Every structure is written in structure tokens, then in C-alpha cells.
Structure 1
Amino acid sequence: MRKNFKNKLLAASVLAMLGLLATGSNPQVNAKSYHKAVTKIAGSGTYAIYHHASKQGPSGKFTSTKYFKYSQIQSKQSISTSKGKFWKIIVNGRTVGWVSQDFFARNQISVAAKISLVQNPNFSFNPKDAINYVTDASGTAVNPSKVSVSTTSINSGTAGQTKVEYHYGTASASADVTVRADAKEGIASANKAPQKGPQAVPTWKGGSKSSSRNWNAAHHYTVETRANAFRSNGLTLRTKLFQPRFVSLGYHQAADSMGQVGAIPEGISIHGSNFTVALFNSSSSQKGHLVSYNLKQINKFKAQDLSNLKWSTFKKYSAHIKVSPYIKLGHGQAIGASAKYIYVIANNNTAKNSTASEEILQIRKSDMKINQVWSFRIWNGANGRYIHNATFVDDNTMYCLFHNGSNHLYEYWKVTRSGDTWTPVEVGATKTDFISNHSPVQGFTYDQKHQQFYIGFNDYIFKVAQNGTYRATHRLKVKREIEGMSVSGNKLYVEFAQRGELMAGKTK
């Protein structure tokens, strides 16, 4: 008797671990489906979230999806009930509760409706670069590589229009691609007299050499509890926000590349209280997520540990943190923003100087989706200026940085949009390499008030006038890489790696 009783208990335990037992006594009636984490895409409706779900339906309503429409949503568990299918959702890495499958965007392809390309025979556009997301019948995100397109590549050498059709299962979408008519668009002259720059200084190459106090194995990557102040040559940077390591399930938990948000920050943009950072799950990825924070609504320390926040605080923060779909961002360090949009040059940071065009994504702040795609080029006659670093100061203006390594020269370009046309003009140049060991630029921004650029390498920041005149060097000596810079108003914002830390100081 005792042996049989133990065997029954063991069998029940095994079934429970496998997810075959729910709230009732019959495992076949109340079966839940357990699976690897999948990424779910929120739809436009608002639905209740419940503590429990069984074959009979959900129970224990306690909150609403209105707080989480622009969050990163994942799931490992679903159940078919008499009231439809329900999914247990994980929001920004935290398990929340059960929601109807009707909440998700099902059988949909979201794509930028308008794509405009500069005429350039050396560049072909991949229509899949314009995809925000693709979902199946359950609202689960599908890798865009599985989408069928009517045209797999569009060469931009000849002016004209192409309508691209996208299909996956019963989902479909279309986009209009235009190659602009002006064959000379983007051709300019690099004719500014170089200003004398500082002697190149040494720094390290290849990753941060230190970390914030607790971002290390010895401290188990725990949260930071003390703000920092870094000072150098009249510049003082103070902690504005410590960011979460992941805004999703973490390493080896997310199950697909679309699901993991973090842990590698690249470029940043600040516009007013809106802070946007590009996050990647590997240093070699060309795709990632943009995450936007409302700095007025989030404590500089609490956001680090979203999963353990008080529930009311988690809801509030989730309503003020927006995550884009998994989209092409290039290296993510050519970024900027206006009041309504985020702009990113989705470039290839491994590309050497090239005559290829580069793609600009216009992303709506309202829902973090690609609204429009342009391509542009900067050519000095027939010689290309492939841009790795840029900043956008409004909807029609960006500044680009180009390093002419063979001539030990940095060039500064202003590119202005009129309609769909992007026109480059060189505004300055500096005769220097700044850094002596070819370490790449890791932050670039423009200060409109003082008409000057900031250029970051590792923990160095150089300040240069718009015409290329050298103004100052700030060596911060923190041994952490700068991963982006932005100017908003009279503040310079700097993002440091390990842990992601946004800092701010006054421009002058």
C-alpha cells in the first residue's frame, strides 16, 4: 500500500513538472501547453489579464494589457479553453498572467509603406529590411527570413517604381519602392580646408577594461545603488539612469533572437525626456531592438531590476518603456530623434569605405515601428564616403562623421532633406586621427547651441567646432567604453557600457 501510494505521488509529480496538471483533477481536461519561449506581438485592442486559466476559461482578473502594448512580450505557456486560447505572458522579462490570444496581432505583416532610394548602380535594396514584424495565426513572431517577397532585390541604378508584395501563410502586405530621378543626388565636394587637430593619443582597443561597481562576476551582476560623477577638463557627467541588463528574458531563456532585448548597448538619442538606446544580443548582429524610456517617469536606480519591482511600479514603468520589434539597425551608432520620430542609419560597421548607399529608417515614437525608409549617399565626386557615425538633430537634418584614414583626416558633413532628397555639404574637417591605434569612434553628436561636435573613443571625448577647429579633450579615465552620445538642450548625454549607464553634463 505505501509503495503504491508513493508511486502515485511520483507519477503526479512528474505530470505536474511536465505541465499536464492544471487546477482540476483531470490532466487531460485541463492540459496546458509548455514550450520554448516565443515572442508575441501585441495588437491594438485592450484585454484583461488573469491570474489563472483552465479548460473552463480564465479567472482572477487583476490588470489590463493597456500598460504593456509597447512592451517586449514573450510566452512559454498556453491553454485552449472554452472561451478561446489563452497565453501566459512574460512582459519585459517578468511573468505577468494569462491573456486572450485575441490580444495579439495575428496573421499580420507590418512593413514600412514607403521606401525611397537614391539613384546608385552600386547598391541593391533588400525589401525585407523594411519589415517590422511577421506573425502567425497565434500572434507569435516569425523570422522575416521566412517571408516570401515578389522581388528579392531592387537595384537602385535606374529611376523607377516597384511594388513589393510580402506573403506568409494568410498574411500579406505591400510596399512601394521608388528610385529617385536625380542621378547626381549625393555627389558633393570635400573641399573644406582642414583645421589643425590634437596629436593622436593612445587608448585600448577591444572592449571595456572595467565595469560599474557591481557589473562583474564577483558581485553577480547585481544592481547599482550609488550614482557616479566623472570629471575631466571642465566636463562633469552624472548618472541619469542605470538600465536593466535585459528588457526581456535573458541569455539562453529567450529561445529566439527576436525575443532577447539586450545586453549590448550601442547608439543613443535624447529628445527632451525621451531616451532611446539601440540594444543587440551579439556584437556581430545587424538586427536588434530600440528601447525608449521616459526619463521623467523612471527612477535612475529602480529600472535595473524590472522583475522584482513592486507591482504598481512595474505597471507604471512598463507604460513608460517602449520596445521596438526586432528590426535591422546596422551598427546602431548612427541615431537621432525629433519630437515624433527616431532616425537610424542601418549601416554595416564592418564595411570599409564604399560607394554603396546607406539606409535611413524613420521610426515612429508612438509605436516604435518603421514608418519610412530612405537611402542616401555621400560621394566626393566618384569617391564614396561610407558613414559609420551620424546624428540627427531634427526631421530634415543629420550630421555625419567620416574618417579619411589614409590622410589622417576627419570630415564633418551636414545632410539636409527636402521631400525625399538628401543633400550633403561638407561643413568642416580636422587634420588628426585623435586616437593612435585605430580604435573606432563609439559616440558622435552635435551641439546646436554651441555649433560643435563631440566625438567619443573608449573613455575619451573630443570637442570640435563645426568647421573642424579642435576645442578640448576630456579623458574620463573610467576604462569603460562610451556606447553613444547625444545632445538635447544644454545637456550632453553619454552612455557607458557594463552596466548600461546614461550620464549627463552641461555643454559649453
Structure 2
Amino acid sequence: MEGRSMKKSIKGVIITSALLAGLFIGGYQSQHVSAKSYDKAVTKIAGNGNYAIYHRVSKGGPSGKFTSTKYFKHGQIQSKRYVSTKKGNFWDIYVDGRHVGWVSEKFFARNTISLAGSVSVVKNSDYGFPTRDAINYATDSHGTAVNPSKVSVSKAYVSTSSSTVDYSYGKAKASLNIDVRSGKGEMGEANLTPKSGFKSVTTWNGGSKSSSRNWNAAHHYTSETSSNTFRSNGLTLRTRLFQPRFVSLGYGQAGDAMGQVGVIPEGITVNSGIFTTSMFTSSNDQHGHLVSYNLNAIKSKYAAQNLTTMRWSTFRSYANNIKVSPYIKLGHGQSLGSSSSYIYVLANDNKYNNGPRSEEILQIRKSDMKINKIWTFRIAENRYIHNATFVGDNTMYALFHNGGYNNYEYWKLTRSGDSWTATEVGATKGRFVSNSPVQGFTYGNGNFFIGFNDHIFKVGENGTAKKHYRFNVRREIEGLSANGSNLYVQFAQRAELTQGRI
């Protein structure tokens, strides 16, 4: 906020006497316009309508219309100030980290709680489904996002009996019937003899040991301008997309947990040209954002890095082809999959070891990046899954590392209605990599691909060891995805999607 004179701060909102006296806002003088500014940006939630965006506002209202919200409603929207005019409140918005302009407050979803369309919980006295996990977003009277933890719920957990849960925040209210199914016949048994495995190897652990050429302080984390080619044992991975450091305002600029999108990727999925990755502000977070890029429209390997500096017309096109989910429960965020219409997330807790807890599957609409359905499931007694992938809308493959028996198990879960029935389909002896956790898991062309730092293993569906790909990238693998004859691998620092033939 421009202006030197400051009167007082109320609940994080700063009212400046300079603006009240009449400063230029966007170029026109605004006599006695009531203006409010925030120390840091708040997160705004788009509603359903399309509204004009303006260069300027004054006491009488906005002027200088130059574009429409239809290009930006699925982006990450933030704002640091708004003004009250004769035509209502107008907010000065940033989209995906770039300043855009002034828009009517009517554009935002106000006093709204958006919930998953349905939730089906498998009966389990040892696990209660956290009812706030069903929240897509909640907003106040200005359309500003509210942390899900601040939403009041009539029942915090559901475990053994169906319940209607009421949600409220201020004037915003919503209800959701959470169904509890018996789960009878859904769990399977681990009874397959493991196939012979790979010779165990070691790798580095504890975070990336290198970076892309410019992702470092010496180069000021500037954009990459040349692509990479990584080869091993017949697999060639080439750069497909360097991603933005942030798809929002950057470090320290967001005033709420929902605002910053980046800088830590955890998982990926690619289907029908839509590439989706999970993004967190901290590796310890259980909530974060999904970011989807339409690769059918984003042809450049490099341009997406420069959302804040590219030409306006290019940015408008890119913003229209990049979608950001609300701040939602993603668990570890490493286990993703997708169909033509939906993104799937196994929202697990990667720090929880084997035990009786259920796990959550989220079905998220590609159209608006909101949760459509949630299921909880269990594959077997004492089997908690840390890695999974999805094939279509009704099939999930899961990887379980059985440390006690020194093998990996492969499970197939098939959905019928709301039931997920588990069957063990294969197993492989050994640890593959002795000192690193799994960094990615996917299924394609009848094979599983299991990623570790600088290592990828190809395994048949029944557990037969086939190929070992060894690289020397020294950047963490952050997710694998198979789509048709293509294998996609994401590397960290800078987030880089690579593509190869399998």
C-alpha cells in the first residue's frame, strides 16, 4: 500500500490515512475512498461468475476494463488490499504470483463452505475419518479463504456409524452425510511367494545433493534456458517442462497457510496431456495444493518459469492452462494418479508405520480442482500403504514394503461402487536400495516402476525383476507416472518434468 501516514492496525488490516485523504489508486485520484491494506497477501476464492478486471478504481467505481476473470478463476488468487466504492468493494488481485488488477468482490465465493460431494468410510474402530478433510475451502464475507482448522464441525471424526456432519464458519454453513460401509470382503491376504529380486544397492539420502544449472544462490535461482538428457540402460529421459519456483507470491509474502504454492514437489501424474503435481511449503505438511499444467497448450519447456515477467498476452494464455487446487488434505502427496476426468490422491501419512489405521483416497475433478469424492480403505491386516498409483477410475495399484520379510508386495485394488477390494498380485525379494525410501511408484504396460534417488527399477506385475536404471543426477526423484508408452519422472531443484519411452 502506498502512503506514508498510518493510523492503526485492526486484526491484521491496516487503514491508511493517506488513502482516506485521497491517493492515486491505479492511476486515478480517489477522493475519500475507504481503503484497507494487509501486511501480507490473503488468499481469495473464485466464485462461479465472470467479471471484468480493471486498471483503476476511484470513489465512483472502477475504470479501464482490460480483461476478464474467466482466464484466471482456476489460478491461485491473492490480494493485499481492497477499496470500498459506490459500486461496492474492489480487490487488487495477484494470480499465480503476478499482479493483475482490480475486480469486484462479487467475483469471490463469499460466506461459503465447499465440501466433497460424498464420503464413504470403511468401518474401523481403530481409525476415525477427520471430517475437516472433506473441506475444499471455507470463506468469510469478503471471499477470503479460511484455514480448515478454524471451521467448526459438529463431529470431528467418523469411524463406525454413518453421520451427518454440520460445518460452520461465521455465516457460512454446510452439511455432509458421511456414509460408513461394513468393508466386508474388501481386505485381502498376503500369501504370494516373492520372486527373486535385484542386487541391493546404496544411494545418497537426506535431500538433493545437486540442482539444475541455475537453481542455486550463485545464479539467484533464475530460470533454466537449456534442457537435460539423462540416460541409463536403454531409458532416455528428456526435459519436458521446467516449472515455476512458485505458482503464487513467494517466500514470506502470504499472510495465511493457504497462500504459498511451492516450493516442494512430492508427486506427479500425467494423463491426456494434463500434468499434475503436488506442492507443499514444507516437507512436514499434510495439506498443500495440486497444480495442473495442460501440456497440450503449454508447448515450451521453459516459459512457465517466467509467469511474472512474460508478455501479458502469454501470461493470460498460461494462466488459463494452469489450475491450482484449494489448500486441501494431500497427506504425503507422493501417490497420485489420474483418469481423463479426475485426479486421484492417496492421502497417507508417510510417518505412520504398519498398523490398523484406514487410509484415504481423494477423487478430485480436473475441471475445477475440487474434491469430488473421498473413500477410506484397508488392504489387509497390518498393511499400511505409503506408495500407490491409479489406472483409470476404478483401479489402484499399491506398493507395500514388508521389512520383516525383506520384500516388496504389489497389491491391486478394484472399486465397485464405494468398495475397494484388495488382492495381492505379486512380490519381489530384497530391498532394492538399502538406504533410501521409495520416491515414486507407477504402473504402465504391465510393469511397475519404482523410483529411488538416482535409481528406477522395472518390475513385472507378478514381481519379476526386469531392469535397473541407474542415473547420476543427484537430485531427488519426486514422483513417477506412466501414460501409454511414456514414463514421466520429476526431479527436484528446480522442479523438472522429464519424459522417456518405456
TM-score (normalised: structure 2): 0.95
Residue from 427, 440, 448 that aligns with 1:443: 440
CA distance in 2, matches of 1:97, 1:22: 17
CA distance in 2, matches of 1:78, 1:343: 36
Q: Name the residue aligned to 1:152.
A: 156
Distance 1:18 1:94, change over 3 A: farther
Q: Name the residue aligned to 1:342.
A: 343
**SS of corresponding position for 2:205:** coil
How far apart are 1:56 and its partner, in Å? 1.6
Q: Name the residue aligned to 1:69.
A: 73
Q: Which amino acid in the other structure matches residue 332 of structure 1?
A: G
Distance 1:281 1:185, change over 3 A: farther
1:46-445 matched pairs, under 5 angstroms: 46-156=50-160, 160-182=161-183, 184-298=184-298, 299-379=300-380, 383-437=381-435, 439-445=436-442
How far apart are 1:146 and its partner, in Å? 1.3
Q: Which amino acid in the other structure matches residue 494 of structure 1?
A: V
Q: Name the residue aligned to 2:11.
A: none
CA distance in 1, matches of 2:336, 2:465: 24
Identity %: 61
CA distance in 2, matches of 1:14, 1:363: 46
CA distance in 2, matches of 1:185, 1:115: 20
> Mind listing any 5+ residue stretches in structure 2 that lack a counterpart?
7-15
| Cα distance per residue 1:138-180 (max 9 Å; x no partner) | 0000111111111111123xxx421111111111111111110
How far apart are 1:33 and its partner, in Å? 1.6
C-alpha contact (below 8 Å) 1:274/1:294 kept by paired residues: yes
C-alpha contact (below 8 Å) 2:97/2:250 kept by paired residues: yes
Q: Which amino acid in the other structure matches residue 466 of structure 2?
A: R
How far apart are 1:406 and its partner, in Å? 1.8
CA distance in 1, matches of 2:171, 2:33: 30
Q: Name the residue aligned to 1:3.
A: none
C-alpha contact (below 8 Å) 1:113/1:174 kept by paired residues: no
Q: Which amino acid in the other structure matches residue 254 of structure 2?
A: A
CA distance in 2, matches of 1:74, 1:185: 47
CA distance in 2, matches of 1:185, 1:257: 40
How far apart are 1:120 and its partner, in Å? 1.6
How far apart are 1:28 and its partner, in Å? 6.4
1:493 aligns with 2:497: no
Q: Name the residue aligned to 2:41.
A: 37
| Cα distance per residue 1:2-34 (max 9 Å; x no partner) | xxxxxxxxx975579965542389876034221
> Mind listing any 5+ residue stretches in structure 1 that lack a counterpart?
1-10
C-alpha contact (below 8 Å) 1:391/1:445 kept by paired residues: yes
**SS of corresponding position for 1:58:** strand
CA distance in 2, matches of 1:315, 1:12: 30
How far apart are 1:404 and its partner, in Å? 0.6
Q: Name the residue aligned to 2:472.
A: 477
How far apart are 1:185 and its partner, in Å? 3.6
CA distance in 1, matches of 2:64, 2:480: 46
Q: Which amino acid in the other structure matches residue 453 of structure 2?
A: N
How far apart are 1:436 and its partner, in Å? 1.5
CA distance in 1, matches of 2:254, 2:43: 8
CA distance in 2, matches of 1:22, 1:76: 16
Deviates more, 1:244-253 or 1:15-24: 15-24
Distance 1:12 1:102, change over 3 A: closer
Distance 1:27 1:96, change over 3 A: closer
CA distance in 1, matches of 2:477, 2:186: 30
C-alpha contact (below 8 Å) 1:78/1:88 kept by paired residues: yes
C-alpha contact (below 8 Å) 1:165/1:173 kept by paired residues: yes
Q: Which amino acid in the other structure matches residue 497 of structure 2?
A: L
C-alpha contact (below 8 Å) 1:278/1:289 kept by paired residues: yes
C-alpha contact (below 8 Å) 2:30/2:59 kept by paired residues: no
CA distance in 1, matches of 2:30, 2:460: 71
| Cα distance per residue 1:23-79 (max 9 Å; x no partner) | 389876034221121000000000000001122211111000000010000000100
C-alpha contact (below 8 Å) 2:457/2:469 kept by paired residues: yes
| Cα distance per residue 1:381-414 (max 9 Å; x no partner) | xx32101100001100010000011211000000
C-alpha contact (below 8 Å) 2:343/2:364 kept by paired residues: yes
Q: Which amino acid in the other structure matches residue 67 of structure 1?
A: Y
Q: RMSD over aligned Cα, in angstroms?
A: 1.6
C-alpha contact (below 8 Å) 2:399/2:411 kept by paired residues: yes
How far apart are 1:126 and its partner, in Å? 1.0
Q: Name the residue aligned to 1:7.
A: none
Q: Which amino acid in the other structure matches residue 475 of structure 1?
A: R
**SS of corresponding position for 1:195:** coil
CA distance in 2, matches of 1:486, 1:115: 27
Distance 1:228 1:12, change over 3 A: closer
CA distance in 1, matches of 2:359, 2:252: 33
In the alignment of these two chains, the number of paired residues is 487
Q: Name the residue aligned to 2:9.
A: none
| Cα distance per residue 1:346-378 (max 9 Å; x no partner) | 110110112110011110011000011100101
How far apart are 1:121 and its partner, in Å? 1.6
C-alpha contact (below 8 Å) 2:30/2:57 kept by paired residues: no
C-alpha contact (below 8 Å) 2:208/2:492 kept by paired residues: yes
CA distance in 2, matches of 1:27, 1:93: 26
How far apart are 1:254 and its partner, in Å? 1.1
C-alpha contact (below 8 Å) 2:36/2:82 kept by paired residues: yes
**SS of corresponding position for 1:120:** coil
